[in-house]
C-alpha cells in the first residue's frame, strides 16, 4: 500500500453515534502525529464536530473535513485513495457500505468497520476477496463489540494452549458473564430490523451456520482444503430437554442460555480458525452463550428470544417494533447513562490432545463503560495496528478479508492500555486452580 497518502486515517460517518465516539477517542488518545480526517454527507455537521473536538484535546490539530455527496463507488474510490486506513461507521452497512468496501479493496486501502451483519459480510467477502488480495488491502469487518471480544478470547485461549502444550484446540465454549448496557443505539436497532427486509429467509438461515464465513465455505471444497467443510462441535452433548429449554451447564461458566449476539460472533471466530488452521487446530469449534443465575431465568430468556425471533420474521410486527424504538438512527444512550455499563466475556478452551487431566485455558475480556465507547476503542486501536504493523500482518496472514484477532498481540497490548482487561490462565477440573 502506498505510504505517501494524504492521511493516515479517514473516519467515514463521523457525525453518527458511533462515529462521533470514535472521533472523540482518536482526538483524546491516539498520537498527535496522526494525520486524519472526518468524512460524511453533511458538511455543516462535520464542521460542528471538528469544533467540539478542539475542546477535547487542544494539543493536536483538528482533523480535516472531507465531505462526500453520495456513497457511490467513484466517490468512495477517490476517498479511499486519500488514506492509508479507512474506518467506516456508516450503517446499516448492507444498505450503504458495499461501495466503500469495493473502493478499499481495489485501491489497496486498509478498512475496518463495526458491523454485525453476517449476511452482508459474507456477500462482500465473496465479491471483493480477490481484489483485496491483489491490491494488498486488509479488510477487517466486525471489529466492534460484535465480534472483536469473542474473537480475541478465542485467540488468547488458543495461544496459551499452543504455547504450553503445543497442540490445537478441540473446542471453545464462551459465555457473556456480565452485561450491563444502557441499550442499543438507533443505528443498531435499524440495522437489526432492516436485515429481515433486505435478505431472504434462505440467506438469513444460511448465516445461522457458525461456519458460514469459514474460508472453506466461501470457495469450492477440494480434498486439498485444509479446513474441514462440515466440522462438528466437540462440546458437551446436550440432552433433548436442554435443547428445548435452551439452558445447560458448563464447568467454570455455570448455567448458560441462548445469546442473541452469538451467531455473528461464532462466524467471525470460525473464520479466524479457518484462516490459520495450523494455529487453532483442524477440529476447532467455538460456541457462545449467555450466563444466567438459575435455570429458571434461563428458560424465560430462551423463550423470550424465541418470541422475539417470531416477531422479527413478520413485516407487520417489525414495523411496529420500528415505531417504538427508543432511539432514532444517529442517536443512542447518553454518556451519563452508560457510566455503569460493563461487558465481561469468559471462554474455556479444551486442548486437542487427550490427557488424563484435561488441558484447558480460561480467557476473559472485560470492559467497564459504555459498549459503544468500547466499540470506538476497538475501531481506533485497530487502525493504529494497521498503520504500525502492516507488513507483519501481511507476512502472517496475507492481505484480504481478515478478522480482529489477525491484528495479534500488538492489538491486545494497545487495548490493555485503553482499560480493556484481557487475560488467560491454565485451569484444571472444577475446584482446582
Q: Write the pLDDT tens digit of every residue in 223-257.
A: 444 444 444 444 455 666 666 777 889 999 999 99
Mean residue pLDDT across the chain: 87
Please, where are the H alpha helices in 68-218? 73-80, 93-96, 98-107, 118-135, 148-165, 186-198, 201-206
Whether 158 and 195 map to the same domain: the answer is yes
Instruction: Give the domain CATH number at 124.
Output: 3.40.50.720
Look at residue 145 in the predicted model and tell me its pLDDT: 94
Within 10 angstroms of residue 123's Cβ, the number of other Cβ atoms is: 17
Least confident stretch, 27-41, 214-228, 323-337, 374-388: 214-228
2 in any annotated domain: no
pLDDT at 408: 97
Residue 1 lies in a domain: no
432 lies in some domain: no
User: Strand 286-292 vs strand 254-257: parallel, antiparallel, or unpaired?
Assistant: antiparallel
* φ/ψ bin of 136: left (φ > 0), alpha (ψ from -120 to 50), beta (otherwise): left
More confident residue, 297 or 287: 287
Q: Are residues 194 and 330 in the same domain?
A: yes
Does residue 219 form part of some domain? yes
- pLDDT, position 223: 41
CA angle at residue 335 from 10 to 71, to 5 degrees?
Answer: 30
Vertex 418, ends 386 and 349: CA angle to 5°? 80
3-state DSSP assignment of residue 66: strand
pLDDT at 427 over 70: yes
Distance CA 70, CA 95 (A): 13
Residue 230 has a pLDDT of 45
| Residue 186 belongs to some domain of the structure | yes
Choice among 28-32, 65-69, 270-274 with the minimum mean pLDDT? 65-69
**How far is Cα 222 from Cα 113, in angstroms, rounded to an integer?**
32
Residue 111, domain extent = 7-145+374-410
Higher pLDDT, 191 or 405: 405
Cross-strand bridge partners of residue 180: 342
pLDDT higher than threshold 60 for residue 166 = yes
Tell me, yes or no, whether 360 and 229 share the same domain. Answer: yes
pLDDT at 44 over 50: yes
pLDDT tens digits for range 187-204: 676 676 677 678 888 888
153, 363 Cβ separation under 8 angstroms: yes
Distances in Å between the alpha carbon of 66 and those of 6, 7, 9? 12, 11, 12
Residues 158 and 64 in one domain: no
Whether residues 284 and 383 share a domain: the answer is no
Domain contains 433: no
* Residue 130 reports pLDDT greater than 60: yes
CB of 63 closer than 8 Å to CB of 36: yes
> Could you tell me if 200 and 348 lie in one domain?
yes
Residues 98 and 223 in one domain: no
Residues of the chain above pLDDT 90, percent: 65
Lowest mean pLDDT among 62-66, 202-206, 305-309, 389-393: 305-309
Whole-number Å distance between alpha carbons of 201 and 285: 25
pTM of the full structure: 0.91
Q: At what angle do helices 73-80 and 98-107 cross, to 10 degrees?
A: 50
- 195 and 321 Cβ atoms separated by less than 8 Å: no
Nearest to 245 by CA among 261, 256, 233, 234: 256
Would you say residue 253 lies in a domain? yes
Confidence at residue 124, expressed as pLDDT on a 0 to 100 scale: 97
Residue 200 confidence (pLDDT): 84
How far is the C-alpha of 72 from the C-alpha of 429, rounded, in Å?
56
Q: Is residue 121 part of a domain?
A: yes
> 309 and 420: one domain?
yes
Which pLDDT does position 247 carry in this prediction?
A: 86
pLDDT score at 227: 45
Q: H/E/C letters for each residue in 246-278?
A: CCEEECCCEEEECCCCHHHHHHHHHHHHHHCHH
Are residues 185 and 316 located together in one domain of the fold? yes
Together in a domain, 393 and 303:
no
Do 343 and 392 lie in a common domain?
Answer: no
Burial class of residue 200, CB neighbours in 10 A (0-12, 13-18, 19+) = exposed
* Same domain for 189 and 110: no
Dig out the grid coordinates for 229 from the structure.
Answer: 467443510
Count structural domains, the chain.
2
Amino acid at each position: 500500500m502506498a505510504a505517501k497518502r494524504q492521511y493516515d486515517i479517514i473516519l467515514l460517518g463521523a457525525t453518527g453515534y458511533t462515529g462521533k465516539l470514535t472521533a472523540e477517542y482518536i482526538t483524546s488518545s491516539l498520537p498527535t502525529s496522526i494525520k486524519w480526517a472526518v468524512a460524511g454527507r453533511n458538511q455543516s455537521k462535520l464542521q460542528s464536530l471538528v469544533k467540539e473536538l478542539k475542546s477535547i484535546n487542544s494539543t493536536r490539530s483538528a482533523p480535516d473535513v472531507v465531505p462526500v455527496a453520495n456513497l457511490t463507488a467513484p466517490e468512495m474510490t477517490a476517498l479511499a485513495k486519500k488514506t492509508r486506513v479507512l474506518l467506516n461507521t456508516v450503517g446499516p452497512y448492507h444498505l450503504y457500505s458495499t461501495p466503500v468496501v469495493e473502493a478499499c479493496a481495489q485501491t489497496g486501502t486498509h478498512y475496518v468497520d463495526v458491523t454485525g451483519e453476517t449476511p452482508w459480510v459474507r456477500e462482500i467477502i465473496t465479491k471483493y476477496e480477490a481484489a483485496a488480495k491483489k491490491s494488498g488491502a486488509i479488510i477487517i469487518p466486525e471489529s466492534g463489540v460484535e465480534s472483536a471480544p469473542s474473537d480475541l478470547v478465542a485467540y488468547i485461549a488458543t495461544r496459551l494452549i499452543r504455547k504450553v502444550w503445543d497442540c490445537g484446540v478441540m473446542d471453545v465454549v464462551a459465555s457473556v458473564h456480565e452485561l450491563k448496557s444502557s441499550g442499543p443505539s438507533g443505528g443498531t436497532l435499524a440495522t437489526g430490523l432492516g436485515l429481515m427486509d433486505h435478505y431472504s429467509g434462505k440467506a438469513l438461515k444460511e448465516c445461522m451456520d457458525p461456519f458460514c464465513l469459514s474460508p472453506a465455505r466461501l470457495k469450492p471444497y477440494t480434498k486439498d482444503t485444509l479446513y474441514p467443510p462440515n466440522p462438528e462441535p466437540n462440546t458437551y452433548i446436550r440432552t433433548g430437554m436442554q435443547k428445548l429449554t435452551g439452558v445447560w451447564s458448563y464447568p467454570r461458566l455455570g448455567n448458560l442460555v441462548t445469546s442473541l449476539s452469538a451467531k455473528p460472533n461464532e462466524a467471525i471466530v470460525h473464520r479466524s480458525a479457518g484462516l490459520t488452521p495450523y494455529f487453532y487446530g483442524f477440529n476447532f469449534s467455538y460456541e457462545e452463550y449467555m450466563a444466567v443465575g438459575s435455570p429458571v431465568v434461563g428458560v424465560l430468556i430462551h423463550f423470550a428470544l424465541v418470541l422475539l425471533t417470531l416477531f422479527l420474521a413478520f413485516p407487520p410486527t417489525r414495523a411496529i417494533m420500528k415505531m417504538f424504538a427508543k432511539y432514532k438512527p444517529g442517536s443512542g444512550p447518553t454518556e451519563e447513562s452508560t457510566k455503569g455499563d460493563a461487558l465481561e466475556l469468559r471462554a474455556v478452551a479444551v486442548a486437542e490432545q487427550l490427557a488424563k487431566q484435561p488441558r484447558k485455558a480460561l480467557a476473559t475480556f472485560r470492559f467497564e463503560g459504555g459498549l459503544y465507547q468500547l466499540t470506538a476503542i476497538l475501531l481506533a486501536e485497530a487502525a493504529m495496528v494497521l498503520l504500525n504493523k502492516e507488513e507483519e500482518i501481511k507476512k502472517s496472514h496475507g492481505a484480504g478479508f481478515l478478522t480482529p484477532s489477525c491484528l495479534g498481540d500488538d492489538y491486545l497490548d494497545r487495548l490493555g492500555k485503553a482499560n480493556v482487561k484481557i487475560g488467560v490462565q491454565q485451569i484444571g477440573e472444577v475446584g482446582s486452580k
